Structure 1
Amino acid sequence: MDAASWTPDDAERADLELLLSGAFSPLQGFLDRADTESVRATGRLADGTEWPVPVVLQVPDELAGAPALTLTDPEGAPLARLAITEAWPAGRGRQFVAGPVAALAEPAYGTFRSLHLTPAQVREQLGSGPVLATVAGTPLHCAGIAGLRAAAECLDARTLLLIPTGTSGDEPLVRAVLAAAAELPGAVPVAVALRSPDGSAAHALLGAHVAAAYGATHLLAAAGLPGAPLPVVPPTPAAQPALSDEALNALLDAGAPLPAGFTPAAVERELRRTRRPLTRRGLVVLFTGLSGSGKSTLARGLHDTLLERGDRTTTLLDGDVVRRMLSAGLGFSRADRDLNITRIGYVAAEAARHGGVAICAPIAPYASTRAAVRAMAEAAGDFVLVWVSTPLERCEARDRKGLYARARAGGLPGFTGIDDPYEEPLDADVVIDTSDRPIGDCVAEVVTFLRHGGWLSDQTAVTP
């Protein structure tokens, strides 16, 4: 009988890759309850072996009783077989499952697959002798490269660059580290499915365990890492970047030059390709508000203004138009409304990914769905939320389409503001009440916000 299948989420799939490759040695699979609780409490497995973070897998309740699961990639291709040895509640209809994993196939897709080497392959490539590893969770600049080179020379060691790729969208980091590797002759770059460093000691220790599995004899990392399985070499003060991340991002946002000698030219090219100046970066502007609040009118006004300016490629995703063209067949249940807004967010994020400005004007009544759209947009570019806060009584008085009258009469059940809630945004970037203001003034307020935020230049529209 074939085993039931399950697709782990991105983080669990990254852990699976490291388990299968041997990078999480001595682990052979997902931890059982005793090991999980012991790691959380003491940083050790139940048998006393040091291990810094739980490596666990959650599945729906109905799968937890199976003797085994086939773990698949998002397209359904099998990756590994999990022999379930234990299950225990995780809450919300899910359970943790534990047991050893065995590879069924290599991952069939993903970027930089040629850099996803196993520890055995890397050890063979490095040979014998000292190896200094660093977990390159951020781009390497001139000072850091010099510090890494000096530490390696002191140890007479090869350099191993472990690049975390366990978080979606890590391709820019890989490109930047590869550009820096050209400044480190003999360095071996390896993509490992670690999540990007979060600054915690547990995550730093996990990186140390992975480095040791890959054959490192020393680790370049911040001092004070008790429990590390190999000697830690702290970076020298000269190895610290000359710019803070905030200062670097501000220069990139403005398209301004970086200080001479701060980073190699090849790394700078990758930084600029990844973080475009704000005036060329993709942007999603989401107008949200009740029916009749003026959001569609404002969105059209902003769209017209940007078309007149001509300096940004712009698309308009009006709620009513999207309902006809993209979401035909959907009703007005919460699930259908969420799906409609998710579709709008997906299309808008794709426009932003290619440097465009996407203007959206759905009602978008639910905070959780707006947050999901924000996350999609910010993975591709930037996001601005405009709450058109015109009160219900004013919207109902306008009632250009007669919708409120029908809802009050019971002809439109679930109508937002009448018998379905509108969750007022707590995270709006701009709040506009159109009750007693000319639409032109309201549009100008949004344009001013975008200009002050850097997404629009100071130019004015061409006057006929």
Structure 2
Amino acid sequence: MVSANRRGSGPRSGAEHVDTPVFTPGPDGLAHLELILNGTYPLPGFMTRTEAEAVSRDARLPDGRPWPVPVILEVPEELSGADRLTLTDPEGAPLAGLSVTEHWRDQGGGHRLAGAVRLLRPPTYGVLRELRPSPAEVRAQRELEPSGRPLLAVVTDRPLHHRALHQIRAESQTLGRAYGEGERAEVLVLIDTGLEDEGMAPAVLAAEPLLPARTSFVVCTLPRTADRSRGALGGVWGPREVGLAAHVAAAYGATHMMAVTDGEGLDVERVMARRPPLTVLAPEPWRHSAAQGLWMPLTQVDPTEARAELTDAQVETELAHGRELPAWFTPARVGAELARLRPARTKRGLTLLFTGLSGSGKSTIARGVCDGIRRSGRSVTLLDGDVVRRMLSSELTFSREHRELNIRRIGYVASEITRHGGVTVCAPIAPYAAGRAEVRAMVEEFGDFFLVHVATPLEVCEARDRKGLYAKAREGKIPEFTGISDPYEEPQDADLVVDTEGITPEESVARVMAALREGGWLPDHDG
């Protein structure tokens, strides 16, 4: 969000500033900003080009200090010349004043601003705000009851199943042995989740009774670096992001850290080579012994009886079809919370996005699919491309910028319906891959996304041209017409491809309905 902040509400430094621009950073920018402002980062603000490039290249700042990831602020072109900004949260509340010392561009041409930030008011935006104390507050609380024992930070954005819980208890016991028989290190669970979405935090908190007695919880939001992909049940971490987690954990007073990942293949040596400020542990692998019905260190389990935990894909499949997770894999409390967070797909919000050329049959198929979904007993909303243009985007042109804005509006409406468990069927042309990806990201924060590419060839679409649009586009009367004078970027990530050439609309609808039933979003039979 960009706007002009008039007299009286901008950051001050001596003389009163007029027309200080106001800017809401993106998710990564907000994550960095909060970690700067609350003292987690030992940095005054956002990095210069020299600093960012040194960190990317060497995992060090120019002064030699180890640091794992660039801390950058991306801004739109119209703000690239600003000498100060007021940075706000997504609701417009001022968070910090930025004194710009450098404008620079990355290799992709993106605009960046560097400079120190000054706190204007403590943040109030974001989920689980009551679990977001500053590092100084956590350290002060520990100083009130000093034990002298190590503090093991467990950084996770995924549920704690039996394997991880056994590893945490074992590492806590090992670290505490130096302080007496039966002693354990204290444990701080750092739950990484977004500012707008609780993610897996409730499932992590559900494991509290199974963790060591002196365990506390803190919620924070780490930026999503290129090393890390995001799944429904947690992320896949790379060395840079584990390194960042180590710096965050150290700020909270931790002496040791372990990251809970989707497996046991974390390359701790690569992480430690970057000189993190604490010891990053590589927990001993554990397996479930099918014969004894116990989780045990891998070295104590007969290889023929060893059973690894379920993969994320297997967990998602079980949850999607409403099946209870097995007790050997996860505690009942965690399983119940996961079932609430990831309900069966028949109860989960869903957005279907139909994309294809004008005349491909998108709207016809979408209406038929809506009828079928309705008959199955689920509520459904149709966002047809032409109707949305009239009702939500009548002021927009067909420029690329406005087409992307139109798709963004559709995505926002669809994500809100998805958030509340409804089904949305969208049928715009959606010609650009970036716009479709943005809609997918918005929707998948709250539910499921299913992309259908109606891949009817251009010549067939043109032959069906009831409105005469292609003819006008060929004559130059309609500029920027998709497929003629403007590109259509075919999806590479479609969940289903339907070519309507040579088949009836009913057959196309049946293909989509069959895919939805097979995926578990609809009952096996219509109601």
**Structure 1 position 151 matched with structure 2 position 171:** yes
Q: Which has the higher contact order (CA 8 A, sep 6+)?
A: 1
Helix, strand or coil: the match of 1:300? helix
Question: Could you tell me which residue of structure 1 aligns to residue 231 of structure 2?
Answer: none
Compared with structure 1, are the counterparts of its residues 77 and 136 closer, same or farther at alpha carbon in structure 2 (3 Å cutoff)? same
Which among 236, 239, 242 is matched to residue 284 of structure 2? 236
Structure 1 residue ranges without an equivalent (≥5):
none
Report matched runs for 1:24-423 at 5 Å: 24-25=41-42, 27-60=43-76, 63=79, 66-90=82-106, 95-127=111-143, 128=146, 129-130=148-149, 131-154=151-174, 155=176, 156-165=184-193, 167=194, 170-184=197-211, 185-195=213-223, 198-221=236-259, 223-224=268-269, 225-226=271-272, 227-238=275-286, 242-310=309-377, 312-408=378-474, 411-423=477-489
2:362 and 2:427 in contact (8 A); partners too: yes
Compared with structure 1, are the counterparts of its residues 148 and 426 closer, same or farther at alpha carbon in structure 2 (3 Å cutoff)? closer
**Structure 1 position 22 matched with structure 2 position 22:** no
Helix, strand or coil: the match of 2:424? strand
How many aligned residue pairs are there? 458
Residue 214 of structure 1, CA deviation: 0.8
2:369 and 2:513 in contact (8 A); partners too: yes
Residue 105 of structure 1, CA deviation: 0.5
Residue 160 of structure 1, CA deviation: 0.7
Residue 60 of structure 1, CA deviation: 4.9
* Matches of 2:460 and 2:281, distance apart in 1: 66
1:126 and 1:158 in contact (8 A); partners too: no
User: Deviation per CA, 1:374-408, whole angstroms, max 9, x where unpaired?
Assistant: 33233332222222233333333333334445545
Worse-matched range after superposition: 209-218 or 261-270: 261-270
Compared with structure 1, are the counterparts of its residues 394 and 80 closer, same or farther at alpha carbon in structure 2 (3 Å cutoff)? closer
1:319 and 1:361 in contact (8 A); partners too: yes
Taking structure 2 as the reference length, the TM-score comes to: 0.79
Taking structure 1 as the reference length, the TM-score comes to: 0.89
Residue 135 of structure 1, CA deviation: 0.8
User: Deviation per CA, 1:286-314, whole angstroms, max 9, x where unpaired?
Assistant: 2223333322221121122222232x222
Helix, strand or coil: the match of 1:380? coil
The percentage of counterpart residues that share the same residue type is 52
* Matches of 2:111 and 2:463, distance apart in 1: 51
1:6 and 1:72 in contact (8 A); partners too: yes
* Matches of 2:481 and 2:471, distance apart in 1: 11
AA aligned to 2:316 is: N
Structure 2 residue ranges without an equivalent (≥5):
1-15, 177-183, 225-234, 260-265, 288-294, 296-307
* Matches of 1:157 and 1:169, distance apart in 2: 32
Residue 345 of structure 1, CA deviation: 2.4
Residue 66 of structure 1, CA deviation: 4.9
AA aligned to 2:202 is: R
2:27 and 2:223 in contact (8 A); partners too: no
Worse-matched range after superposition: 94-103 or 38-47: 94-103
Residue 411 of structure 1, CA deviation: 4.8
1:181 and 1:189 in contact (8 A); partners too: no
* Matches of 2:337 and 2:503, distance apart in 1: 45
Helix, strand or coil: the match of 1:284? strand
Question: Could you tell me which residue of structure 2 aligns to residue 436 of structure 1?
Answer: 502
* Matches of 1:5 and 1:171, distance apart in 2: 27
CA RMSD of superposed structures (Å): 2.7
Which among 512, 518, 523 is matched to residue 446 of structure 1? 512
1:281 and 1:355 in contact (8 A); partners too: yes
Compared with structure 1, are the counterparts of its residues 402 and 114 closer, same or farther at alpha carbon in structure 2 (3 Å cutoff)? same
* Matches of 1:192 and 1:172, distance apart in 2: 12
AA aligned to 1:71 is: L
Worse-matched range after superposition: 173-182 or 235-244: 235-244
* Matches of 2:471 and 2:116, distance apart in 1: 62
Helix, strand or coil: the match of 1:172? coil
AA aligned to 1:284 is: T
Residue 325 of structure 1, CA deviation: 2.8
User: Deviation per CA, 1:352-378, whole angstroms, max 9, x where unpaired?
Assistant: 222222222223333332332233233
